[in-house]
Structure 1
Amino acid sequence: MLTLITYSMFLFTLAFIVMLISNIISKKSFMDREKNSPFECGFDPKNSARLPFSLHFFLIAIIFLIFDVEITLLVPFILTIKISKLLNLYLILTFFIIILLIGLFHEWNQGALTWIN
């Protein structure tokens, strides 16, 4: 039991010394502050990083991603043409494309696709 306490105290002291040395060595100087600041294509990084952006642009990007994923779901149907019945494949593809078109028309009616309000 005494050896366990001795080992744990030794490890605690060693960890404390390593953290203290790393803190002393890693002090940043005034010269390194500009080097560590972010560089954004020549813009001054001292201004506010939280610039407002169009929420409508964000919604259009999300809609694009959703339809892009749905298109990637259509691609495997090309590979299944040879191994499945053509009528079943046609019905599944028609149903899937109808669902896509209903979603597109719904977004259009809601005004999500018009850029100027």
Structure 2
Amino acid sequence: MDDVSQISEFGKILIFLITGIILVGLLFVTNRFLAPNNPNYEKQTSYECGEEPTGSAWLPFNSRFYVIALVFLLFDVEMVFVFPWATVFGNREIIQLDERWGWVSLIEMFVFLGILILGLAYVWRKGDLDWIKPTVVLPRTDALVPQSLYEKLNLEQSSFKVKEFSMEATIAIKEPAPVSSSEATAIKKPMFKPTFKKPANDA
């Protein structure tokens, strides 16, 4: 009687995943108990490639870095597909069995690289790889005044003399008018005379 495997292929994958999770957890627990824990100021500062960090690490981050990182990942994953292709294309035994394998793999790699190059050209043409640069926008108006009139006005204004700048204060302070002795001694009378009512006597 033939032995039948009691575990399916998916069961083997599940056992592999559970074993990996347990081993990673054991490594973290072992690191927690055995690794030295001596935090200080130097260890808790943000890493700046060996330079002294200045300012706060919470700064606005340019989104263009994210696009460049995506392009890097695109071509990084491309190399993962190029390595197995190179092993097939460089295998003489496979090509000796059938010469069409070499041509098929070569055409397939050209198609693959062509798709990636088209994607890169699209991103480049769209301007996503360019850094943020201010675009110069010349102002335009619908005025009917000719340009020669503006130039003439500018020439006339250039003949005006500009007052030289001085650091000294030029604010004129008005002195108070002199007060005569008669005005100083005169006492103004009130404009109204107060009157007081006597309270009525109760009989």
What's the TM-score once normalised by structure 1's chain length? Answer: 0.58
2: CA distance between counterparts of 1:80 and 1:72? Answer: 14
Residue 81 of structure 2 corresponds to residue 73 of structure 1: yes
CA deviations 1:22-46 (Å, max 9, x no partner) are xxxxxxxxxxxx94782236447xx
Which residues of 2 match residues 3-14 of structure 1 at below 5 A? none
Which residues of 2 match residues 1-117 of structure 1 at below 5 A? 35=40, 38-40=44-46, 42-43=52-53, 48-81=56-89, 82=91, 83-84=94-95, 85-117=101-133
2:62 alignment partner AA: S
Report the Cα offset of residue 72 of structure 1: 2.3
1: CA distance between counterparts of 2:73 and 2:121? Answer: 17
2: CA distance between counterparts of 1:78 and 1:56? Answer: 33
How many pairs are equivalent?
Answer: 82
1:75 alignment partner AA: F
Percent identity of the aligned residues?
32
The structure that has the greater radius of gyration is: 2
3-state SS of 1:70 partner:
helix
Which structure is richer in relative contact order (CA contacts within 8 A, separation 6 or more)? 1
1: CA distance between counterparts of 2:71 and 2:85? Answer: 22
RMSD of the alignment, in Å? 2.4
Report the Cα offset of residue 49 of structure 1: 3.9
Name the CA shift for 1:55/1:80 in 2 (closer, same or farther; >3 Å): same
- Whose helix proportion is higher, 1 or 2? 1
2: CA distance between counterparts of 1:100 and 1:93? Answer: 11
Structure 2 gap ranges (5+): 1-38, 96-100, 134-203
